[in-house]
Structure 1
Amino acid sequence: MKLHGSFTSPFVRHCRIALLQQGMDFEFIETDYAQSAEGSPAMRVPYLQDGDLVLHDSSSILKHIRQRNEQGFCQSIEEFDLYLLVTTALDSTINLFLLEKSGVDIATNSYTQRQAQRIQQCLQALNNKAEQGLEWNDAGIRLACFIDWALYRQRLDLSGFPALLRWLEDARQSREFELTTPPAA
């Protein structure tokens, strides 16, 4: 099994955590921006090769990992909805990060302003969920990967979301989460 990705991607990190949790042997192939465009029609990481099977998205990869180990992926509709809400916020945050890196003035564009508003609304909803309590399942892991990435890349001010910061501290107690911490910037 070969997982292609970067050490900094929160999507790749989630897949690495799942593989470590399951004790599965895999080869991690560090893949940059140009290589991902060649290696996957989605033109992004992660992508996974498991024999003849090739998967192009972290969600299908996670589902495959869990199913190979006779476990469910997002076993309730509530967990799945939370997972998707986190993914929405994460996608928007990454898109703004990449646009800004490309020289786009994200403060003056109506599309990017809407993305920024989406992120803030998602953060509030996620903080509310975290106040009620979260589980260390795929939705909770995805959230921890998102929060840690946002802080690592200095993308978001999370001081107004104390429950999210507490969740990150809880996540840092996980051996697999710590083993997959991105390298110092």
Structure 2
Amino acid sequence: MSEQPTVLVVEDEPDLADLYAAWLGDDYQVYTAYGGQEALETLDDLDDEVGAILLDRRMPGLSGDEVLAAVRERGIDCRVAMVTAVEPDFDILAMGFDDYLVKPVSSDTLRDTVAGLLRRGEYDSGVQELFSLTSKKAMLEAEKSASELADNEEYQELSTRIERLRSDVDESLHAVTEDDDDFEELFREFDADE
């Protein structure tokens, strides 16, 4: 395994995939796949070395949604951000991604997202799930009206699940001291997702 974390960029527009790879190339070992099937083949070749995947949602052939489902079904332990022109809707609540970016995306946003994904991979599964769910909640709150959110049962269940998870991980957070950089960064990320 290389010393730099490995990132897989999955994007059916080669110029955009190559641009993302160029933005990330100084800090990460970056692989590109220009379609869903190529992404799965690349993941097979990398043998679980991938720490983060940037995944376009709409691609011809195998869609990003299908690639994401395959990644999770295979038990590949990596963080996934959807980077897509598809505006989020309530269907994202059932998807197993960790973050969701709507194109166009700046180089700073992409770099910050990858760094955050890789940092999240170091936390236990409860904290990882909490990050993922709060990201989905924040995205929906930015895109949907208060009445749409209030009327959606899945959104209400999401809010309840987040509160339960916060309570569950509270004990592990108490074990971390306030002068620990990871502790401060963790709460900065929670504040950013709210």
TM exceeding 0.5 = no
From the two aligned structures, give the one with the greater strand fraction.
Answer: 2
Higher RCO (Cα < 8 Å, 6 or more apart): 1
TM-score, L = length of structure 2: 0.35
TM-score, L = length of structure 1: 0.36
